[in-house]
Structure 1
């Protein structure tokens, strides 16, 4: 098997583990009773995981959504956080492009998830009918949570994923918990929506940086008034 493929699969697995550890909902006693053994938190639906992963993999789109929220709320912290992303080379260095499919950004995750499922860091269950899968559920185990915590402690550079995943979680919490709500929001981005099927969703870093500068000018003019 190709060595680069294995490295990519492991890197994807680490990213997904840190993302799920940051965004999964802790199980209460009732949910734990029906959950797989050892599960402590859950993320429902592959569509939701794909949409959250898109924002983690594309810091320019994440920052631009923070600017959208800043324009709606006027909360200075949103402008500051978006600025911390766009003032750096993060949109270029950390970007992992995704293809656009019929229901938005998508990448097959099975091979990366298998790295997490085999040692029971993650348990994937399916709700299905006789004819089709209705929903995948991603259960984080206590072991998985421990490994995620240890990874960020031992390898400081991995803390970036957790920090950004928490931003993604906050953005998603303000948007709605369903994959449909996240998809609708992402399709409001013109560059995203107009990407032809099966082609890479392009960067919007340049446009987002221009917008950031304009919003800063407006803020500064208001402060000076």
Structure 2
């Protein structure tokens, strides 16, 4: 039961339902799942091992909060992983799989062109497109590493990064260039563009964090 609860809580953190700093109250979680507190405590210990939650004095267990420096480190690792994933995808994917990615790219371009689209909806599409590539790169260790980075409140910071229409449109342009490199089977060019996409998100997230922390 503890593993099931941990999986459910992990999914909620990944999807941004529990934001960084949110308290996870054992009694409330136990009531939600209709169990005693014992399996809830074990589930929270499991999440702690993956750095998804942490203990805070006088607050109890909370979803892990990252400093700006830690967010930067997260993006540095993610950028390297995404570049490696895309390189392998270009080398190993079938023409049909590349064509499948083109469908996702068109979806993202359409969303980027629509100023009424929310950051959450845009992130839904970009994450789905990234997962499409990750699942077809053919390297289980890279896949595991990428998924772990996504679990660590990435979505919360991704929504901050994609908060402006200008950034989304910049991202769509870079991603279109990456697709063209994929279609040309230029693995190195596609990989470099993947790195640029992730680093663009990195910079945008730090700007958003700084604006959020600014007094007044």
TM-score by length of 1: 0.28
TM-score by length of 2: 0.29
Larger strand fraction of residues: 1
Larger helix fraction of residues: 2
